[in-house]
Chain A
Amino acid sequence: SQTIHQWPATLVQPVGSPLSLECTVEGTSNPNLYWYRQAAGRGLQLLFYSVGIGQISSEVPQNLSASRPQDRQFILSSKKLLLSDSGFYLCAWSVSRGSGYTFGSGTRLTVV
């Protein structure tokens, strides 16, 4: 069966420090992968999605970047975190771009 792993679960980072969040999917090949951010009490904002290795689409201009070095690995990064980067970050995958997503358990990032 397919599973999605996302880590760490929580993270507290100082302003200006780098960020690396990792997401991996097991049990499927060539998944579509997504990074979402959810501010406290708010909806889901799509940050990046990827349909294949090295293929990244950015939805909003921001302080973050994404990479897909392997088929089932999706990484969210920042060189210098801002206070506004705080939030709940969710990775998700789907078998096709129009089908239902399976979300990871999320990473709660607090920038201090």
Chain B
Amino acid sequence: GENVEQHPSTLSVQEGDSAVIKCTYSDSASNYFPWYKQELGKGPQLIIDIRSNVGEKKDQRIAVTLNKTAKHFSLHITETQPEDSAVYFCAASRDSSASKIIFGSGTRLSIRP
């Protein structure tokens, strides 16, 4: 089955700097890669996703990149702000009738003022 590894487990960056979170996956048939942000005491919220026919996707200060050959994908947050502090989860799945989303272990991002 699919296995998703996420690094680092914790990340602290200065406000205004960029943050990068990296994930690798094992199932070469996976073709959907969402990212979730979980604020303290709340459920995870989908912030961006990418499918395997696309190498990069941007939404304002957030971007995701996908390297299918190497089976890794990354989340990039530029010009970080205090409200970016949260736990971020990557995930991977197939678009098939028997698939589930497999989550990474999470990255706790702290933005230093």
A, B from the same assembly: yes
Interface residues of A (CB under 8 A from B): 6, 34, 41-44, 46, 49, 90, 92, 94, 96-106, 108
Contacts of A103 in B (CB 8 A): 36, 43-45
B41-58 toward A: CB 8 Å interface, digit per residue (1/0)? 111111001000000000
Q: Contacts A98-B93, A99-B32, A108-B41 known; A43 to B103 CB distance under 8 Å?
A: yes
Whether B46 and A44, one on each chain, are in contact in the complex, defined by CB atoms closer than 8 angstroms, is no
B36-79 toward A: CB 8 Å interface, digit per residue (1/0)? 10000111111001000000000000000000000000000000
Contacts of A96 in B (CB 8 A): 95
Interface range, B side: 20 to 34
Whether B101 and A43, one on each chain, are in contact in the complex, defined by CB atoms closer than 8 angstroms, is no
Neighbour of A106 across the interface among B43, B93, B96, CB < 8 A? B43
Interface residues of B (CB under 8 A from A): 32, 34, 36, 41-46, 49, 89, 93-101, 103-106, 108
Contacts of A101 in B (CB 8 A): 34, 44, 46, 101
Whether A44 and B44, one on each chain, are in contact in the complex, defined by CB atoms closer than 8 angstroms, is yes
Whether A98 and B46, one on each chain, are in contact in the complex, defined by CB atoms closer than 8 angstroms, is no
Whether A43 and B105, one on each chain, are in contact in the complex, defined by CB atoms closer than 8 angstroms, is yes
What are 23 pairs between A and B in contact, CB < 8 Å? A41-B108, A42-B105, A43-B103, A43-B106, A44-B44, A46-B100, A90-B43, A92-B43, A94-B101, A96-B95, A97-B93, A97-B96, A98-B94, A98-B99, A99-B32, A100-B34, A100-B46, A100-B49, A101-B34, A101-B44, A101-B46, A105-B43, A106-B42
